[in-house]
Structure 1
Amino acid sequence: MNRALWAGAAAIIAVATGAFVASIGLRPDATPPLVSAARAADGSATVYYQDPDGKPRYSLTPRKAPDGRDWRAVPASADISFDAPGQPPVETKAADAKGERGIKYYRNPMGLPDTSPVPKKDSMGMDYIPVYEGEDSDDGSVKLSPGRIQRSGAKSEVVVRRPIRSLIPAPGTVQEDERRVSVVALRFEGFVESVANVTTGDHVHKGQVLMNVYSSALSSAAAEYLSAFNAGATGKELKGARRRLENLATPEPAIKELERTREISLSIPWLAPQDGEILERNAVNGMRAGPGDVLFRIADHSLVWVLLDIAERDLAQVALGTKVTIRPRALGGQTFIGAVALIYPHLMAQTRTARLRIEVENPDDALRPEMYVDAEIETGTPAPVLAVPESTVLDSGTRQAVLVDKGEGRFEPREVKLGRRGGGYVEITQGLSEGEAVVTSANFLIDAESNLKAALKGFADARSPQAAEPASGAEAHP
């Protein structure tokens, strides 16, 4: 090829390089890292001229800038690597190195799945690109020049073991512990003679008097027991009379008082069954109460539940006993620590969330039912695991892969299996070994190159050069 053709090819490649630089995010007016102004004055033959400010503008003839400065001359000996289709003459060292290897076939310069065993041109007159032995390995890896790696910003990181910790944020509400709620009701027909000085919201203690109750059924049972007791009855007879009082839920102190005084009181003090706050008071002085009527409802808030809703995708990361930090919105930064006590078996159909129950100690009654809280569920692996940055993984939805840096500019796509995520890292359960290097940035560019070369290689294997070789002196056509 004569000097003019070389110059034309170099200019075309230079323009293509400028487009590639723009495509990977560099400023169009940035000085390309491919051309050095110092090399332009080494006395070598000039192949083209470049804008003196380093802008991606080129000319085959000398030119001047608007301010009178000469465009920079780019010699054939300049150390330039465009990584563009074709072999520019300025890549003398690379060309010599490739000349020592055999050419396997030629591929379409536009990346189409079309190859030829002999040199040819496409419909636009562009030369097909030679593929040398060793450039397309059988392991599906791709080899890039240092220039392309530098321009694309590709970076690698060694795979190491590290603990993965993540926090799952979740909203929730405080609820009563269902096991710590009780009601005060009668098992017989009776009357509330008087109610103690307690109201809704008051805190009561177990055994505290709530009201005085009269009932003919209760008086009859008390008379029967007292008769047997006074007669010195023993065994089943006395036990049966006492059991009748117990079946009517007569407070134990009232039975003890009956045994001590041997007198039947007109009314019996009715006591609180547990410590807690009175949530409901329906008892009124002189009212008639039937069996089962709820006269008081009492709840113990020393331990409460916090119900959290988490996304369905996070459910696999949560287990019983997982630590949870709870911050009530109404308590100004005060925090409580609890643990997951129950994962409800059904999802919430309307929100597609899973519900968790957290048991939290509440000795000061600071947590009140129906309070809104913000919680953080601490998940992760207790021991270090093999992990890579999340940016390393190429996820197509059905396939997850990483690019393994094999050194010397060669990268191998490898399918992996993922585990937990957290802190910007993802666990690798299968596909990588500790100490291997993986690409953490610009991996999508290398992956695209790998996919292209894999497709071209498959096409080349389907059309072997021997089978597709035309007769001597004839030009090959697709």
Structure 2
Amino acid sequence: MAIGGGAYAMTSHKAHAPTAESVRDVPQREGNAIVFSDAFAKRAGVKIDSVRRAPLVPTIRVVGTVTFDPARVAAVGTRLRGVVRKTAKYEGDEVKVGDVLTEIDSAELGEAQATLLTNRAQAEAAEVNAKREKSLLDRQLTTAREAEVADTTLRSQSAMLSASEQRVRALGGNTGPFGVHILKSPIAGHVVERHVQPGQAVEANVTAYKIADLSRLWIELAVTEQSLGAVRRGDRVSVAPVSDPTKAIIGRVGHVGEVIDLSTRTADVRIEVDNTERLLRVGQSVFATIDASGPAHEALLVPRDAVVFVDGKPTAFRAESTTRVVPIALRLGAANESDVEILEGLGEHDKVVSGGAFYLKSELFR
């Protein structure tokens, strides 16, 4: 089927002898036009409406993807080399802050802890010596130089002790047995990923666990630039899983992207939803309907039911009379619950089939 001059060119039929098919009361093609009887129009529920110009605030419908709220996700790394001693939590387990996830035997940690103990003992000895030298100096039983050397040694040993304490903290060795690194959950939530198991040798850059609070999630949408201007932070959004559109969840727009993707002509919009009842899963596809609150703009409008898709292209049937129409290719803009904006294909004084358009298409293009 070809498109030319804004209309679909129809293939004419050669004349045939009358048959049962030819006497059926169905639409017939006359050049680019389609004609049908009053009886067919009544049977198909054909209704004619005028194209009109009016203010439009779009209701934006897009398919999005459920993802984590990054403020409620923690990646727990191993921090050091070692061998996994045991794992305490597994995928799906609920955890609280401080719950033990796994234990790792680490010679690296053991060495750092041993160095810490040595530096602590030396710092204590240096402190005792510095106090003694100060006392002797007060009684003029030693020289000022000896007291200064003792004080300098104390400061040096204190610095080494602080560095050792910091290294052990960085390696996660402040608690637990000597040479054992205990990974604990930094947040409350559920274990969504685990990448270690007993006996596994690990390096310092391994993400052992991923913990997520699933009570709040994000929905990531790609909204066209035509509709983006009407979307505001805080706008109400109805979200429903593609697998079960009856389960509607109400969310709010949390972020409207500032950059248009040049290849898709869309921008990112993030929806924040409460998932306390666990109706959504990360990675799931959802239908999202944004009740945009942005300013209305003047638009050329037709009813939603006037637009059908032929070969994947939006099409309307422009009415030349109550029983004669011409299919017209359209370029669509924004839309709301009842109307669609027409950017190309129709004029303000045109009339279109708004009722029975799908039935008409089914008869002609099946």
Contact 1:214 1:267 in 2 (8 A): yes
Residues 229, 291 of structure 1: alpha-carbon distance in 2 compared, 3 angstrom cutoff: same
Q: Give, in whole Å, the separation in 2 of the partners of 1:179 and 1:266.
A: 32
Q: Give, in whole Å, the separation in 2 of the partners of 1:354 and 1:208.
A: 40
Q: Give, in whole Å, the separation in 2 of the partners of 1:181 and 1:388.
A: 43
Higher strand share: 2
The structural deviation recorded for 1:318 is 2.0
**Letter of the structure 2 residue corresponding to residue 335 of structure 1:** I
Q: 1:286 aligned to 193, 199, 208, which one?
A: 199
Q: Give, in whole Å, the separation in 1 of the partners of 2:206 and 2:337.
A: 56
The structural deviation recorded for 1:334 is 3.1
TM-score by length of 1: 0.42
Q: 1:318 aligned to 214, 219, 231, which one?
A: 231
| 1:163-202 pair list within 5 angstroms | 165-196=57-88, 198-202=89-93
What residue number does 1:217 align with?
A: 108
The structural deviation recorded for 1:190 is 1.1
- SS in structure 2 at match of 1:318: coil
Residues 216, 275 of structure 1: alpha-carbon distance in 2 compared, 3 angstrom cutoff: same
Higher RCO (Cα < 8 Å, 6 or more apart): 2
Structure 2: segments with no counterpart, 5+ residues? 1-36, 39-49, 128-153, 303-333, 341-347, 352-366
TM-score by length of 2: 0.53
Q: 2:251 aligned to 325, 337, 351, which one?
A: 337
Q: Give, in whole Å, the separation in 2 of the partners of 1:237 and 1:190.
A: 25
- SS in structure 1 at match of 2:74: strand
| 1:264-413 pair list within 5 angstroms | 265-330=178-243, 332-343=246-257, 345-347=259-261, 349=263, 351-380=264-293, 390=301
What residue number does 2:167 align with?
A: 244
The structural deviation recorded for 1:348 is 6.7
Residues 163, 236 of structure 1: alpha-carbon distance in 2 compared, 3 angstrom cutoff: farther
Q: Give, in whole Å, the separation in 1 of the partners of 2:171 and 2:83.
A: 14
What residue number does 2:317 align with?
A: none
The structural deviation recorded for 1:369 is 0.8
- SS in structure 2 at match of 1:305: strand
Q: Give, in whole Å, the separation in 2 of the partners of 1:343 and 1:206.
A: 33
Residues 290, 279 of structure 1: alpha-carbon distance in 2 compared, 3 angstrom cutoff: same
- SS in structure 2 at match of 1:317: coil
**Letter of the structure 1 residue corresponding to residue 165 of structure 2:** R
Runs of 4 or more, structure 1, over 4 Å off, are 162-165, 385-391, 420-426, 442-445
The structural deviation recorded for 1:192 is 1.2
Q: Give, in whole Å, the separation in 2 of the partners of 1:296 and 1:370.
A: 18
Identity of aligned residues (%): 26
Residues 281, 389 of structure 1: alpha-carbon distance in 2 compared, 3 angstrom cutoff: closer
- SS in structure 1 at match of 2:286: strand
Contact 1:182 1:298 in 2 (8 A): yes
**Letter of the structure 1 residue corresponding to residue 217 of structure 2:** V
- What is the RMSD of the two structures over their aligned residues, measured on CA atoms? 4.2
What residue number does 1:204 align with?
A: 95
Aligned residue-pair number:
238
**Letter of the structure 2 residue corresponding to residue 367 of structure 1:** L
Q: Give, in whole Å, the separation in 1 of the partners of 2:68 and 2:164.
A: 39
Residues 227, 301 of structure 1: alpha-carbon distance in 2 compared, 3 angstrom cutoff: same
Structure 1: segments with no counterpart, 5+ residues? 1-26, 29-154, 258-263, 392-419, 427-441, 446-478
Residues 381, 309 of structure 1: alpha-carbon distance in 2 compared, 3 angstrom cutoff: closer
The structural deviation recorded for 1:344 is 5.8
Residues 193, 390 of structure 1: alpha-carbon distance in 2 compared, 3 angstrom cutoff: closer
The structural deviation recorded for 1:245 is 0.8
**Letter of the structure 1 residue corresponding to residue 74 of structure 2:** S
Q: Give, in whole Å, the separation in 2 of the partners of 1:421 and 1:186.
A: 51
Deviations 1:11-36 (A, max 9, x none): xxxxxxxxxxxxxxxx99xxxxxxxx
The structural deviation recorded for 1:208 is 0.8
Q: Give, in whole Å, the separation in 2 of the partners of 1:389 and 1:177.
A: 39
Contact 1:163 1:380 in 2 (8 A): no
The structural deviation recorded for 1:239 is 1.8
- SS in structure 1 at match of 2:292: strand
The structural deviation recorded for 1:243 is 0.9
The structural deviation recorded for 1:343 is 1.7
Q: Give, in whole Å, the separation in 2 of the partners of 1:273 and 1:386.
A: 49
Q: Give, in whole Å, the separation in 1 of the partners of 2:299 and 2:55.
A: 11
Residues 321, 243 of structure 1: alpha-carbon distance in 2 compared, 3 angstrom cutoff: same
Q: Give, in whole Å, the separation in 2 of the partners of 1:387 and 1:425.
A: 13
**Letter of the structure 2 residue corresponding to residue 220 of structure 1:** E
The structural deviation recorded for 1:340 is 3.8
**Letter of the structure 2 residue corresponding to residue 181 of structure 1:** V
